[in-house]
Chain A
């Protein structure tokens, strides 16, 4: 019963942070629906204008292995490595691995660039958009190792986390994922 109450409260809070972001630039937002996954028919992308609202994605305490890749549609090396993340998602989802692709595109490009891109590439991993321009206030919260260049990738589970500022090929990526299994 208590668990149920807590989850109710969590839901409420999540809803709350979503409404915070939504009020800021609601005109340009596509549907903000927490815990909604991108579906094949209509692509919905959770979007955040405040890093604080997004940050819980970097601190899930369940049994999954999270592979969080920061990218953008305009970033050539990022786009180049996306298929490898997709491959990891496909190969390892049964092993509790979840890939989250965090687009740092401008939220104004969500509907005319990011969503079409996700559809065109048929991305199956969860895509999230984070557009908080005050970079200096949050880059170190992802990792103090991050200089600010992209692509970067954070791997974590509840026991450890590793951060890489580099472009990956599939072998390198798989190698790191395996160390978390």
Chain B
């Protein structure tokens, strides 16, 4: 009995130490080191599987998506802009590339990124990478995403880039886009627009100041230096692109 009590005390002490540890270093570090300690101490007892023991697998997102993948050439398309004119991807033939972003008016995530999309355009248009924004949503499902509201929102936010409407919903499926916002960085290689990066703008939708990795900016920097973006594919939570059911 004594040994059992000693064992309990030992585990408690270990556990508590781990706990204190985690509380003080709680900010950015994952809790894996503490979990490991605890796991070890229970192993001789043939423990049942600890729920936290599965947290170590860290798969990098793989482009298992439909539609355009990294390296694919995007076929030209033409859609109506908020100013009433038609805009084609081919219109960007004199640019180094295009920051193509599926976005919309209604989605809170898209809204949180509006200022950052403006910043991207204001910084990179002069360097040969203008933003081209595409609204892929069906306004019958999401009325706030119709053309009048696109014009209104663009005016409110002072968009200086084309904001075009995929009203027939024929373009976004070619990309395999599923959510807003979703970025495709295109590199102009002698007129062929090649996908070099796809995914999120950065790694913190909520707060531009808390961003650790600026995926799109880093990708532009990489291609400008003649290297491949790393990562070239990321995932983020976003609003489903709205399509009529049935």
- Contact surface of A with B, Cβ cutoff 8 Å: 1-2, 5-6, 8-10, 12-13, 15-17, 19-21, 23-24, 50, 52-53, 55-56, 59-61, 74-77, 104, 106, 133-137, 139-141, 144-151, 165, 167
Chain A residues with Cβ below 8 Å from B55 are 52, 55-56
A residues near B22, Cβ cutoff 8 Å: 16-17, 19-20
Query: For residue A19, which residues in chain B have a CB less than 8 angstroms away from its CB?
Result: 19, 22-23, 26
**B179 x A145 contact (CB < 8 A):** no
In the docked arrangement, what's the CA distance between A159 and B237, Å? 28
Q: Is the Cβ of A136 less than 8 Å from the Cβ of B234? A: yes
In the docked arrangement, what's the CA distance between A103 and B187, Å? 37
Contact with A along B171-183 (1 / 0, CB 8 A): 0000000110010
Choice from B8, B35, B38, B235 contacting A146 with Cβ under 8 Å: B235
For window 11-42 of chain B, which residues contact chain A by CB distance below 8 Å? 11-12, 15-16, 18-19, 22-23, 26-27, 30-32, 34-35, 38, 42
Chain A's nearest CB lies how many Å from the CB of B55?
5
Interface bin, chain B: 35 or more
* Cβ contact of A23, chosen from B11, B23, B30, B237, cutoff 8 A: B23
Given A23-B23, A145-B64, A149-B178, verify A133-B204 contact (CB < 8 Å): yes
Residue of A nearest to B107 (CB): A74
B239 located at the interface, meaning its Cβ lies under 8 Å from any Cβ of chain A in the complex: yes
Assuming the contacts A12-B19, A52-B31, asked whether A5 and B236 have C-beta atoms less than 8 A apart, the reply is no
18 contacts between A and B (CB under 8 A): A6-B45, A8-B12, A9-B15, A9-B38, A12-B19, A17-B52, A19-B19, A24-B26, A55-B51, A55-B55, A77-B240, A134-B212, A136-B234, A140-B61, A140-B235, A144-B64, A150-B237, A150-B239
Alpha-carbon gap, A134 to B190, bound state (A): 36
Interface of chain A, helix or strand or loop or mixed? helix
Known: A13-B50, A140-B60. A149 touches B239 (CB 8 A): yes
The distance in angstroms between the C-alpha atoms of A74 and B240, with both chains bound, is: 12
Known A6-B48, A61-B48, A144-B59: A20·B31 in contact at CB below 8 Å: yes
Residue from A50, A106, A136 whose CB has the most chain B CB atoms within 10 Å: A136
Asked if B168 lies at the interface with its beta carbon under 8 angstroms from chain A, I say: no
Which residues of B lie under 8 Å from residue A140 when comparing CB positions? 59-62, 235
A56, closest chain B residue (CB): B51
Q: Given A24-B27, A140-B60, 12 more contacts at CB 8 Å?
A: A6-B42, A13-B18, A52-B31, A53-B31, A55-B51, A76-B142, A133-B210, A136-B236, A148-B179, A148-B182, A150-B238, A151-B240
Distance of A116 Cα from B140 Cα, bound (Å): 29
Closest B-chain residue to A51, C-beta based? B55
Chain B residues with Cβ under 8 A from A165's Cβ?
178
Whole-angstrom CA separation of A31 from B86 in the bound complex = 54
Supposing A6-B47, A135-B235 touch, asked if A149 and B179 sit within 8 A by C-beta, the answer is: yes
